[in-house]
Amino acid sequence: MKSLKLVCFFALSVLSSVATTTIARAGDVVWWAPNWGEERARTLAQKFMAANPGTTVKIEITVSNGLPERVLTALRSGTGPDIIEVQHGWVNGYAQSGLILPLDDTIQDKQDYVPAAIDYVGWNGKLWAIPYRIETHGIIYNKDHFREAGLDPGKPPKTWDELTTAAKALTKNGRYGFGITGGGEVGNTLFRSLPFIWMNGGDIITADMTKAVVNSPEAVKAVEFYTNFYKQGLSPKSTLENDGLALRRLFIAGTVSAYQSGQFDLPAIQKENPNVKLGAMTIPAPAGKQTAAVLGGWSYVVPKSAKNPEEARKFLQFLNTTENQGYYTDTFPARMSSIKLPRFDDPMLKPFAEMLPYGRPVPVHKNWVKIVQAYFDGIQRILLGDQTAKESMDQANEEIQALLK
Amino acid sequence: MKSNAGLAFVLPALIVLFMLVAYPVTYTGWLSVTNDQGQFTGLQNFADVLRPRVTMQALWNTLWWVIGSVFFQVLLGVAAALLLNQNFVGRALVRSVTLIPWVIPSIVAATTWAWMFHTEFGIINYMLTSAGALDEPVGWLTRSSTVMPAMIGINVWKLFPFVAIMVLAALQSIPQELYEAARIDGANYWDEVRHITLPQIRPVIMAVTLLLVIWALNAITIIYAVTRGGPANRTLITPIQIFRLAFENVEFNQAAALSVMFFATVMLIVLVYIKTFADQPGES
């Protein structure tokens, strides 16, 4: 009797473990989707399964913390799912290492996609991912602060000079006109300062990645423009320890009147301080020149080790119809036809949408992490007052050149 | 026969020791002279890692970090031990409270200090400005002149209780007769400290100092949690540089080369230290 009970218990536990473990069968598509879109992912999967009874979509939820390592481990060990959502910038490395499948035959209406997004995930003449979400920074500002400083909140600055003038007017009574980052993860400061270099016609390295050009007069002038917000006291004293999150906190607290960020900050600010009258503007450019921004966002990739690549492709085509891409993205969709959906017809989002065509990918070089570190150290030396912008960028240029061999 | 039997008994321990110590050390040495494809490249990695000026800067930072930390840890630790050795009401309580910094996990302490030092939200600036000691907030972690001292301060706060408790134990083992004899000879308090207390606790201070030096040389947690080596590498010490090379830039071979050099330097320091100080035939 006792042994029968034991057997029953054993059988039950085996059954339950089978039930909870994802076992991929033929006709299954395993999809790694980030947690922020979980609900919408499940809705889409249900719709697809209703229309394609032979296929089961299994969703495994990922979180952004540690995701690059997790994806790389899964890809390298060949234990990956059939579809993974990754940031655009990671795709190139996977493609070069032969870890993912090209998707030229999967993408529909390629000409409908924002070109920079397609460029981002292309390598060696092939398309290695389908971008579905794109975003850039704009500038978020406090309309009440603008009014109190005698500025017209309906007419935000358009040029560098106007931005500096506005920041000066806004800086008073313990408030800082324009918050920049100078601390935290290096990406925070790269994403906020590199666009200014681009607008002015400069870059960190040349397009063919053979030469460091961060000490060119155009780049130095842009770096000077960026760091001057701190040097002239228009950005908080804590600039050297601030990242994007710290700026958002200072903005919510009313200490910072304007700062660069993406539209994803808007709901967070409204939730914590509903009294802030939010405004958004495109990032000012030098007079007579065009604005620029770093293009960020997410793509779908199909690992080489996918158990079911054919079904995965079919599902990807379903995910990337105009409607579904527009429905699923957290920020903006990569398809121009999707951006016309009513969901994106929000006046607050307009400046961010206007920035999209000016979004550019960051270079893909094997030493990019070190290059960014050298550049960021240079920015910090200027903020610390160790060196002038020119001296600092000369040193950074030398260090970056050594990394390009 | 007899000696063979002995070998058989220690063999398991030797194998474990080999796997845990000798193998990683040897493998690091091998990594330092090969490239990421495993081909032998001689001293290329050493040259590559020494070229950027950040390596030299990190070395100087490490030097300041170690000297500053150890000096104040020993000074404060001995002073605290002398105080705690006196008779006063609530001595047991004060002794336990003194130990608190040491028993707090480093990462918790470091993160808390980072917040306390923060320019806008930090309690240190808040207290100093509201008390009128400062006119405006100071960027403790963002000024070249204050960031390393701040780091050293955290490290001293964290480890001086350890020194205090070790020295206190040594103090308590000094025979009372020595003091009585000295007092009969007319010695005052400072004479006692100079001629009895310090010589008696010297071996303990020597051992503790060596430990502190080794710990300071390996200390990544505090600095990494507070500044990550910034701003502009102002607090980058060599162990953090090794960590960055290996785990952020995935340059394991260069990281290994730097580790090998660092290891050699540390060994040299320890040997010189033991030779000059600890070996002296002394009063102990």
Q: Alpha carbon A315 to chain centroid distance?
A: 24
What backbone phi and psi angles, to 5 degrees, belong to A366? -65, -25
**Residue found under tokens 């094997």:** A366
Please, what's the b/e burial string for B234-248 (b: 16 or more CB within 10 A of its CB; e: otherwise)? Answer: bbbbbbbbbebbbee
Cross-chain Cβ contact A241/B51 below 8 Å: no
Q: Which residues of A touch B55 (CB under 8 A)?
A: none
| Model pLDDT, residue A162 | 96
B46 residue type, one letter: F
B79 versus B121: the higher-pLDDT residue is B79
Instruction: Report whether B274 contacts B210 (CB < 8 A).
Output: yes
Residues of A with CB under 8 A from a CB of B: 182-183, 236-241, 250, 255, 367, 369-370, 373, 377-378, 380-381, 383-386, 399, 402
pLDDT at A140: 96
Residues of A in contact with B52 (CB under 8 A): 399, 402
Q: Tell me, what DSSP letter sits at residue B80?
A: H
Within 10 Å of residue B153's Cβ, how many Cβ atoms? 17
Report all structural domains of chain A as residue ranges with CATH numbers, in order of start: 27-135+296-360 (3.40.190.10), 138-294+365-403 (3.40.190.10)
- At A17 the pLDDT is 43
**What would the pLDDT profile of A56-109 be if each residue is shown by its tens digit?**
999 999 987 778 878 888 988 888 899 999 999 889 888 888 899 999 999 999
Q: Do A380 and B231 touch (CB under 8 A)?
A: yes
Is B232's CB within 8 Å of A182's CB?
Answer: no
Strand-pairing partners, residue B34, are: B40
* Out of A59-73, A114-128, A193-207, A390-404, least confident range: A59-73
Per-residue pLDDT for A249 more than 70? yes
Please give the average per-residue pLDDT across A281-295, as a whole number. 95
| Alpha-carbon distances of A250 from A171, A180, A352, B101, B138, rounded to whole Å | 14, 11, 21, 31, 17
B232 lies within 8 A of chain A by CB: yes
Q: Give the lowest-confidence range in A12-21, A59-68, B70-79, B140-149.
A: A12-21
With CB atoms and an 8 Å threshold, state whether A237 touches B120: yes
What is the average pLDDT across A128-138? 94
For residue A170, the model assigns a pLDDT of 96
Which secondary-structure segment (H or E) carries A34?
Answer: strand A28-34
- Token duo for residue A181: 């980052």
Out of B142, B233, B249, the one facing A377 most closely (by C-beta) is: B233
Using CA atoms, how far apart are residues A212 and A214, in angstroms rounded to an integer? 6
Instruction: Report yes or no: B234 and B148 within 8 Å, Cβ to Cβ.
Output: yes
Nearest to A380 among B52, B137, B232 (CB): B232
Phi, psi of A86 (to 5 degrees): -135, 165
Give the distance, in angstroms, between the CA of residue A200 and the centroid of all CA atoms in the same chain: 22
- Structural Rg of chain A based on CA atoms: 24
Tokens 């249900």 correspond to: A46
- CA–CA gap between residue A113 and residue A107 (Å, rounded): 10
Residues A239-251, mean pLDDT to the nearest whole number: 91
Q: What's the whole-number mean pLDDT along residues B10-22?
A: 89
- Whether A297 contacts A331, CB under 8 Å: yes
Q: Which pLDDT value is given to residue A12?
A: 46
Which of B210, B231, B81 is closest to B151 using CA atoms? B231
**B91-150 confidence digits (pLDDT tens):** 889 988 988 999 999 999 999 999 899 888 889 999 998 888 888 888 888 888 899 999
**Beta-ladder partners of A294:** A360
The pair of structure tokens assigned to A292 is 């620029």
**Which of A223, A235, A238 to probe by mutation at the B interface, max B CB count within 10 Å?**
A238
> Smallest CA–CA separation between B251 and chain A, in Å?
10
Instruction: Determine the pLDDT at residue B119.
Output: 86
Q: How many CB atoms lie within 10 A of CB A236?
A: 29
Q: How far apart are CA A306 and CA A315, in angstroms?
A: 13
Q: The dihedral of CA B199, B201, B207, B208: what is its sign?
A: negative
d(CA A325, CA A330) in angstroms, rounded, equals 10
Q: Is A20 helix (H, G, I), strand (E, B) or coil?
A: helix
pLDDT in tens, A333-344: 999 999 889 989
How many CA atoms lie within 13 Å of B136's alpha carbon, on the beta-carbon side?
6
- Work out the number of other CB atoms within 10 angstroms of the CB of residue A4: 8
Element (H, E) at A325: helix A322-328
Per-residue model confidence as pLDDT tens digits over B22-45: 888 899 999 999 987 888 888 889
Averaged pLDDT for residues A287-292 = 94
Would you state the structure tokens that stand for residue B143, as one six-digit string?
Answer: 């000024």
Which residue matches tokens 């390629």? A110
CA nearest to A377 within chain B: B232
β-pairing, A296-301 vs A83-87, is: antiparallel
Say what the pLDDT of residue B120 is.
Answer: 82
Strands lying side by side in the sheet with A258-261: A258-261, A138-142, A278-281
Question: How far, in Å, CA of A18 to CA of A164, rounded?
Answer: 62
3-state secondary structure of A361: coil
- Among A8-12, A135-139, A241-245, B147-151, the range scoring the smallest mean pLDDT is A8-12
Dihedral-angle region of residue B160 (phi above 0 means left; psi in -120 to 50 means alpha; beta otherwise): alpha
The beta strands (E) that lie in A126-220 are given as 126-127, 130-135, 138-142
State the average pLDDT over residues A160-185. 93
Q: Does B52 touch chain A (CB under 8 A)?
A: yes
- Do B163 and B81 meet the contact criterion of CB atoms below 8 Å apart? yes
Specify the pLDDT at position B229. 86
- Read off the pLDDT of residues B135-169 as tens digits, 9 standing for 90 and up: 888 888 888 889 999 999 999 999 999 999 999 99
Chain A nearest CA to B120, separation (Å): 6
Phi, psi of A151 (to 5 degrees): -105, 155
Tell me the mean pLDDT in the region A229-245: 92
% of chain B surpassing 70 pLDDT:
96
What is the C-alpha separation between A139 and A229, in angstroms, rounded? 15
Domains, chain B, ordered by start: 48-278 (1.10.3720.10)
Please tell me the number of Cα atoms within 13 Å of B66 on its side-chain side. Answer: 22
**Comparing A6-20, A131-145, A248-262, B108-122, which segment has the lowest mean pLDDT?**
A6-20
Single-letter amino acid, residue B153: G
Residue A212: DSSP 8-state: B
pLDDT for the residue A26 = 60
Residue type at position A44: L
Separation between Cα atoms, residue B22 and residue B18, nearest integer Å: 5
Sign, CA dihedral A233-A236-A238-A240, equals: negative
Question: What is the DSSP code string of B211-267?
Answer: HHHHHHHH--HHHHHHTTT-STTTT--HHHHHHIIIIIS--HHHHHHHHHHHHHHHH
Give this complex's ipTM. 0.74
Dihedral sign (CA A390, A391, A393, A397)? positive
Secondary structure E strands in A236-288: 258-261, 278-281
Nearest CA-CA partner of B265 in B48, B66, B22, B26: B66
pLDDT of residue B1: 52
Task: Count CB-CB contacts under 10 A for residue B95.
Answer: 17
pLDDT in tens, B166-187: 999 999 989 989 989 998 988 8
- C-alpha dist (Å) from residue B54 to A212, A359, B61, B254: 19, 33, 10, 14
Question: Does A311 have pLDDT greater than 70?
Answer: yes
B248 touching A, CB under 8 A? yes
Residue bearing the bigger pLDDT, A199 or A9: A199
Q: Tell me the helices (H) and strands (E) count for chain B, helix number first.
A: 15, 0
CB contact under 8 A, A236 and B120: yes
Helix, strand or coil, per DSSP, at residue A359: strand
Other C-beta atoms closer than 10 Å to the C-beta of B166 total: 19
Predicted local distance difference test score (pLDDT) of residue A19? 42
